[in-house]
Structures are given as structure tokens and as C-alpha cells.
Chains A and B, each alone.
Chain A
Amino acid sequence: EAGVTQFPSHSVIEKGQTVTLRCDPISGHDNLYWYRRVMGKEIKFLLHFVKESKQDESGMPNNRFLAERTGGTYSTLKVQPAELEDSGVYFCASSVEWGTGELFFGEGSRLTVL
């Protein structure tokens, strides 16, 4: 069974540019999450999809971040325009159930904004 896959694994962009990160969850997992870790800090929650609906987007930092999950399958996270403080590792995770179920994580997309 394929795990959660994320693309790209590493992206280096200039301040003001746009980047789109993609996440393919495990097939059949309705719940999809985005998290971000800045170097040495906590892994911070960004948002949670249930199928194609945004269940909780309370962690999205500002309106420069846009997440979509069209058709309830893969998800994209767009940062436009990118700022220096957006640098970090963006993790995607999926799960069968919310609440007590374990999350399955991708390897992360490292974003460096210069």
C-alpha cells in the first residue's frame, strides 16, 4: 500500500514568488491534514480536510496561504506571495478516522524562501 506522498521534497524560491505543494494521501483516507515545522520549533497545525471540505483551517497563518482538495483526493497548498518566515518543512498527513486514529505522515516538503 502506498503511503502519503508529497511533492516537491525541497523547493527554494525568492521572496514574493509563488509555490504550490502537493500531497497525495493514502487511498481511502477521508481526513487530510497540513502541518508546518519551522526549524527547532513545534509542528504546528495548519488545516484539516474531511474529503473535500475544510473542517478546520484555524491554523492557517494568513490569506497568503490557500489549500484545496478538489474531489476529496489529493490536496495542494499554495503560498502566494511567499515571505521569508514561510520557510520550514510542510508535512501532510492522512487518517481513516479523526480523533483517536493515528495519522500517517508524508516525508514533508522543505520550503526555503530567500
Chain B
Amino acid sequence: AQSVAQPEDQVNVAEGNPLTVKCTYSVSGNPYLFWYVQYPNRGLQFLLKYITGDNLVKGSYGFEAEFNKSQTSFHLKKPSALVSDSALYFCAVRDRTISGNTPLVFGKGTRLSVIA
């Protein structure tokens, strides 16, 4: 079965500092990995994805994530946080080696607060 763990409910960081939001996953085969962000009173928005190829993926708003197969992780990072980055972040996985329509499985989310 597929699963995603986001070990931190809340991450606090000062504006201008680097940020990391952690995600680990479990699939039986190889993963497709995604990050989504939810701003207050909005729907989830796609940030970036790892499908294949380069392990470092760059996405919207200066975010990037690194796929680490040995550690089964896909941590989200940004070199310099902005107050406007404060939101709820969700990691998601789909097992690409399972035939048929397996759904995208989400974690429980991590709330990022960037303090000015």
C-alpha cells in the first residue's frame, strides 16, 4: 500500500532563512511524487513533481525538492523564505509500477509559518 508521512505538523522559520518541509513515502515499486500548497480559503495548488530523471526538481515560487530513493524522501526546500510562503503544504505519492488507476495518496500536511 502507498503512504506518505509528513513528520512535522508545524514548521516555523524566519523570513530570509532557508526552509525545509519533510516528506517520506512508502510504495511497493517506484514513485511519482508531488508537492501541493494550500493558502487560506483556497484549493490546493500544484508546486512541483518528480516523475523520472534528475533527482532535484524545481517548481513554482522558487521551491525545489530532492528525490532520495535510498531514504525514500522527497523534502521540499527553498533557499530564502518569504512571509507569503506561509501556508499548508501537502506531499503526495503514486506508485507508478502498479498497473491500473491507483489514486494519488496525500500526507496530512505541514503548516509553514514564516515570521518577519
Residues of A within 8 A of B (CB): 3-4, 33, 35, 40-45, 48, 55-56, 58-59, 91, 93, 98-100, 102-108
How far, in whole Å, are A105 and B44 apart by their CA atoms in the complex?
Answer: 5
Sample of 10 A–B contacts (CB below 8 Å): A33-B103, A33-B104, A41-B108, A42-B4, A45-B105, A91-B44, A99-B96, A100-B32, A102-B46, A105-B36
Q: Are A103 and B101 in contact (CB under 8 A)?
A: no
- Whether the Cβ atoms of A48 and B108 lie closer than 8 Å is no
Tell me the smallest distance from the CB of B2 to a CB of chain A, in Å: 10
- Residue A42 contacts which of B34, B36, B51, B108 (CB distance < 8 angstroms)? B108
Select one of A3, A35, A55 contacting B101, CB under 8 A: A55
Q: Is B41 within 8 A of A43, CB to CB? A: no
Q: Which residue of B lies closest to A56 (CB)?
A: B101
Find A105's partner among B45, B96, B101, B108 (CB 8 Å cutoff): B45
For chain B residues 70-116, which have a beta carbon within 8 Å of chain A?
90, 94, 96, 101-109
Write out the residue numbers on chain A whose beta carbons fall within 8 Å of the beta carbon of B90: 43
Q: Tell me, rounded to whole Å, the shortest Cβ–Cβ distance linking A51 to chain B.
A: 13
B103 to A: closest C-beta gap in Å = 4
Find residues 23-39 in chain B having any chain A CB closer than 8 Å to their own CB: 32, 34, 36
A107: chain B residues at CB < 8 Å are 41-43
How far in angstroms is the closest Cβ of chain A from B67? Answer: 14
Q: How far apart sit A59 and B9, CA to CA, in the bound complex (Å)?
A: 24
Residue of B44, B103, B106, B109 near A48 (CB, 8 A) is B103
**Any chain A CB within 8 A of the CB of B49?**
yes
Contacting residue for A108 out of B36, B43, B107, CB 8 A: B43
Q: Residues of A contacting B106 with CB < 8 Å?
A: 35, 42-44
